[in-house]
Amino acid sequence: MRYEIPDPLDPALLTVLIAAEDGLARLDERAGRHAVAEGFRERGQFFDAAAALWVAGELVHVEDLVLHDSHMDARAPSHELTIAHAVLRARRRLDLADADWALSPPGLSALRGEAGAAVRHDSLNTSALRDDPDETDAPDAADGPIDSSLSDAFAEIDAAIARSARLLDIHAGSAVMAEQPVIESQSSRVEPTGQLGLLFDDDWDETARLDAWRAVLPVADQLPAALGAALLFDAWERIEPLRRQHWLGSLLVGAYLRFRGKVGSHVLAYNTGLKTIRHERRRSKDRLTRLTGFLEAMSAAAELGMKELDRLSLARTQMEMRIRDRRSNSNLPGLIDLVLSRPIVSAPLIARHLGVTPRGALNLVRELGVREMTGRGRYRGWGVL
């Protein structure tokens, strides 16, 4: 599939492109030096992960994701919650990595989960070389002859280990499939046969599809940053490189904007803006309609980010007024930082981060006057709207 360079001066694109570029620049300038910038970035990770599932047609509550991330689940995690947590981990990895890491082949391989597979492959090759008679040192005569019964026992152990490794690989593939959403195009759907066909589809060459998507990068680099990111996301939606990690495309939009220096202060929470675009426009057959919708999603994400900064700034000012006359060793300033860095905080979470008892955490919440968000009798949570 060939992607031609869209004309940035097209009247249908020019207005939304200018709005997106302006909104992203304003957000980056403000988020880079704001007093609550750290909390804004961390909260954005949770909201964008939940929004990614919303765009895919699934519902995940932000408070459940916060509790799951802190290993304090109120119930057994659902399939959708597991996927949302995978999105959250990927976003954090992008945030900590270099700006160009995610778009490089090693970065994409790591985000796909292939880094561990490559390590295992290298270790297997190394062990094979060690077992080669030409590469292995001959046993010293002083060691004496090897007992044949021990050799048979070791051979049985090696065979059992090999069988276990094969079973673990199969179950690992099942776990990866269970944690990732399967999103496939109607024209490329293949009915699998057999158990292995349910896990791996030989006709769906993810490496070749990723290479085809990366071939769009030079085209995107010739365009303004926002339009280039929109083109890359459109290519991801059309090529569908990863069947079980289709949500990665929206994260790469933020990574690309960071790479181009358009939003360098953080990884843009693009899914929060994508929620505002109707499905008919996001999946339209007309490329101009899709690109316009993706640019409007960037403007919406920037506008939501600015409102979030205003909300957090006001909340911080109000909470600091409450602790103006507190003693210098009070835990309340630490609680303010924690509340601003999470959409929801629970009593065990506060106790663990501040080193107090759960009862002490409840007392601190009462003194600070943070609003209860969940409406539950148990597993209650507090936060800033």
User: What would the pLDDT profile of 102-142 be if each residue is shown by its tens digit?
Assistant: 999 899 889 988 644 444 334 333 333 334 433 333 344 33
CATH topology of domain 325-382: Arc Repressor Mutant, subunit A (1.10.10)
Name the more confident of 201 and 117. Answer: 201
**Long-range contacts of the stretch 128-132 (C-beta < 8 A, 24+):** none
> What's the pLDDT band for 153 if we cut at 50, 70, 90?
low
Provide φ and ψ at 345, rounded to 5°.
-125, 145
Q: In the predicted model, what is the mean pLDDT of residues 294-298?
A: 96
Residue 244: the pLDDT is 84
Q: Using CA atoms, how far apart are residues 171 and 174, in angstroms rounded to an integer? A: 5
Residue 187: the pLDDT is 37
Residues with Cβ within 8 Å of 180's Cβ and at least 6 positions away in sequence, in order, are 83, 86, 242, 244, 245
> What's the pLDDT band for 385 if we cut at 50, 70, 90?
low
Q: What sign has the CA pseudo-torsion 8, 227, 220, 238?
A: negative
CATH 1.10.10.10 maps onto the chain at: 325-382
Structure tokens at 55: 């765009």
CATH 1.10.3290 maps onto the chain at: 11-113+204-309
Cα distances (angstroms) measured from residue 362 to each of 70, 95, 380: 18, 32, 10
By mean pLDDT, which of 51-60, 173-182, 231-240, 292-301 is the weakest?
Answer: 173-182
Cβ atoms of 236 and 256 within 8 Å: the answer is no
> What's the pLDDT band for 55 if we cut at 50, 70, 90?
very high
Residue 146: the pLDDT is 40
Q: Using CA atoms, how far apart are residues 326 and 320, in angstroms rounded to an integer? A: 10
Closest CA to 308 of 263, 272, 265: 272
Query: Distance from CA of residue 359 to its chain's centroid?
Result: 34
DSSP state of 229: H
Query: Distance from CA of residue 39 to its chain's centroid?
Result: 17
Q: Check: CATH 2.60.120 for 11-113+204-309?
A: no
Model pLDDT for residues 336-349, shown as the tens digit of each residue: 888 888 888 888 88
Closest CA to 76 of 64, 88, 60: 64
Closest CA to 270 of 294, 239, 242, 234: 294
**Half-sphere CA count of 124, side-chain side, radius 13 A:** 10
Name the 3-class secondary structure at 338: helix
Show the beta-strand stretches assigned E in the chain. 371-372, 382-383
Q: In the predicted model, what is the mean pLDDT of residues 252-267?
A: 94
Amino acid, res. 87: V
* 276 pLDDT more than 70: yes
Structure tokens at 127: 């062990």
Q: Using CA atoms, how far apart are residues 40 and 15, in angstroms rounded to an integer? A: 28
How many other CB atoms are found less than 10 A from the CB of residue 285?
Answer: 6
Residues with Cβ within 8 Å of 240's Cβ and at least 6 positions away in sequence, in order, are 183, 184, 185, 188, 209, 246
Residue 51: the pLDDT is 95
Instruction: Name the maximum alpha-carbon separation found in the chain.
Output: 86
Residues with Cβ within 8 Å of 346's Cβ and at least 6 positions away in sequence, in order, are 66, 67, 70, 72, 379, 380, 381, 382
* 75 pLDDT more than 70: yes
Closest CA to 339 of 66, 88, 90, 74: 66
Report yes or no on whether pTM surpasses 0.75.
no
| Residues β-bridged to residue 382 | 345, 372
